[in-house]
Amino acid sequence: MGTSMREIDKKTEHFIKEEAQFHLGFLPTEQPHPETSGLDKICREDTVAGIEMLLKVDRDIPPKASQVLDSKEFERLTDSIKKSLDEGGKIVFSGCGATGRLSILLEASWRNLCRRLNLKEMEDRVFSIMTGGDYALIRSVESFEDYASFGRRQAQDMGIGTADTFIGVTEGGETSSVLGSVVQAADDGARVFLIFNNPAQLLCERIERSRKVITDPRVTSLDLCTGPMAIAGSTRMQAVTIELLILGYALEKTLISFTGADSKNPVKTFTELLDDLTKKDSLAKLANFVEYEEGIYSRNGLITYFADKNLLDIFTDTTERAPTFMLPPFVKYDDNNSPQSWAFVKNPIYPTEKAWEQVLGRKPRCLKWKKQDYKLLGASEKIVNNPPPINLREMLRFKIGSEKDKKRFGRKPSAAIAVLSASDMAGETERFLDAFNIHKRDFSDSRIFFIGEEPSIPGTFNILCHIKKSPINLWEHLAVKLVMNTVSTITMARMGRIQSNWMSWVETSNKKLIDRATRLIGELAGLSYEDACRELFTSIYEIENTDWKGEQPPSPVQHVLSRLRK
C-alpha cells in the first residue's frame, strides 16, 4: 500500500502543480446553470417539469446566434467557404468528442445533399477530422484530446492547401488536439477559423494554449458563448447545438446559388422549433418516452434504436451517453465478456460495412498509426507501449448494420425502437419499416418514435414539431438532436446519474475530465481542490486494480463519495 500511496501522491502533486492549464472551473461551460439547480429532484417528482426546465436553457441560444450571424467574422467565414468552393478547394471541419461527431455530421450532410442533387463532382469538397479518427465516433479514445501533436498530424494527413477553408471546433476553446490541427492548417496556408463556446477574452487571460491560437493573426475566431450548460460541463448540449446552428447555416448560405433554398431567418426558425417542443402535447409525449426508456433500463433491459436517414444523429447521442453518465460503452460483436451498452443503434436495411458508407456518405477514415508514430508524436509511455486498436477492422467489429445480435435481445426486457423523421418519410420508408418489422420479432417489445409532422403511426411516440426543409436538412438534425439529448438526459436524471445539475457519474479519460471530477467531488464532499484530487486518484487506482468480473466499473466520483460515506 505504501507504493500505491506514493504513486497517488505523485499524480496528485503533478496534476495540481504541472497541469494548472487544465483546471477549467472558471469557464462558463464548466459551471452549473442557475436555471437548472435541483434538476434531479424535479425530474424524479415530475418528468414534464424536468423536461421544461432542461429545454428552457436552449432559450439562451437565439440571442447569441443573432449576434454571431450579424458579425463580420461570420461573413468572413461564409465568404471563405464560397471562395473555396469556387476555387476547387476543400472545407474541413476539425473537432474532438462531441465536436468531432458534429464535424462528421456536417460532412455527411453535405455528401448526402450532393448525392440527392446528383452533384458528384462536389461530394469531395467537405471533409471532417475527428480526433482519433472515425473510430472515435463510436468510442472515445483515451487521452487523445490532450495532444496538440495528434491534431497536427491528422491535419497534415488531410493535405491542407491554400485554397482550403479550415474550421476548428472546440466547445471549451482549449482542446489541445483541435488547437493543434488549427495551427497546422494555418502553417499550410489555409484560411482558418476557430469556433468555441467560452468568452475569448477569458480564454486568452487564463489558458496559454488558447491565447496563442486566438491571437494568431492567421486565425479568425467566432465566440459562441451562451453561458453554462443545462448540465454542468455537458457541452454536447447547448454548446454543440449552437455550433450546429451556426456552422450548418454557414454551409447552407453558400448553397443558395445552386439549390435555390434560403433559410433567411435561422434564429426565428430555431425559436419556432423550441416553441413546438415545449408545447403541452410535445412535453407529455417526451415524458412518456422518457418513462418508457427508464422502465426498460430499471429492469436491467436493453434498447436498440433502428434508424436510416438519421442514424448518425441517433448514434451521436447514444455514443455520448457512455462517457457522460458512465454507462457501458458500445461492445464489439465478438466481445463476450464486456457488459452490453444500455442502448445501441442499428440500420435494419444494410450490413455493417454498407451501413457505415450510407451514414457517412463515404468509407470510414480510421487511423493506421503504429508504435513508432506515437513515439514521434510525443505520446505517453502507456500509449506508445499499447497503441489503441482504432483501425477500420476494429471499427467494423461494431455491428451497426442488419446483422442479428442475440446479445441485444437475448434477455428480457429488450426493446426495438424505430426512429423516424420527415426525411425518412420522403425516402425508403416502406423498405425501412419492412426490415424493422422483421428485426422487432426478436425483441420483447417494440415502438416507433417519430419526430415531425407526419400522421400518427400505430404504436408510435409522436413528437409533433414543424421541421422546415433546407439543403442539408439542418432543421431536422437540430430537432432530432434536441429531442434525443432531452430524452437521454432526463432519463439519466430520473435514474440517479445526475446530482442537482451536475454529471455525478463521469469518466476521467482525459485531463479536462479529471479536473471536472475533482471539482464535483469538492462540491459534493466539501473538500479542497487538492484533497478532492487526491481522493479521485485514490479511487482511480482502486478501480484500475480491481477485477470487476465483466461488470462495468463504477464512476470514480461515485467511488470516492461511497468510500467517504463509509
Average pLDDT, whole number, for the chain?
Answer: 93
Q: For 72-129, how does the pLDDT look when each residue is reduced to its tens digit (9 = 90+)? A: 999 999 999 999 999 999 999 999 999 999 999 999 999 999 998 888 889 999 999 9
Residue count (the chain):
566
What is the C-alpha separation between 322 and 429, in angstroms, rounded?
Answer: 30
pLDDT for 39-72, tens place per residue?
999 999 999 999 999 999 999 999 999 999 999 9
Residue 218's pLDDT is 98
Cβ neighbour number for residue 451 with a 10 Å cutoff: 26
CB-based contacts of 373: which residues, under 8 Å, 6+ apart?
153
pLDDT at 427: 63
Position 135 pLDDT exceeds 80: yes
Q: Is-contact 220 195, C-beta < 8 A?
A: no
List where CATH 3.40.50.10490 sits in the chain: 71-262
Predicted pLDDT at 524 = 84
Q: Evaluate if residue 299 carries a pLDDT over 90.
A: yes
What contacts 387, CB < 8 A, 6 or more positions away? 369, 370, 371, 374
Task: Kindly report the three-state secondary structure assignment for every residue of 392-447.
Answer: HHHHCCCCCCCCCCHHHHCCCCEEEEEEEEHHHHCCCHHHHHHHHHHHHCCCCEEE
What average pLDDT does range 521-543 have in this prediction?
92
Asked if residue 369 lies in contact with residue 123, where contact means CB atoms within 8 angstroms, the answer is no
Q: What crossing angle do the helices spanning 511-525 and 556-565 adopt, rounded to 10°?
A: 30
Distance CA 287, CA 285 (A): 5
What is the DSSP code (8-state) at residue 1? -
Over the stretch 323-369, which tens digit does the pLDDT of each residue have?
Answer: 889 899 999 999 998 999 999 999 999 999 999 999 999 999 999 99
Residue 468 above 80 pLDDT?
Answer: yes
DSSP one-letter string for 266-298: HHHHHHHHHHHHTSHHHHHHHHHHHHHHHHHHH
| pLDDT band at residue 458 using 50, 70 and 90 as cut-offs | low
State what percent of residues in the chain have pLDDT above 90. Answer: 78
User: Residue 257: is its pLDDT beyond 70?
Assistant: no
- Provide the CATH topology of domain 71-262: Rossmann fold (3.40.50)
pLDDT computed for residue 123 by the predictor:
93
What pLDDT score does 561 carry?
A: 86
Give the pLDDT band (50/70/90) at residue 426: low
pLDDT, average across residues 385-408 = 96
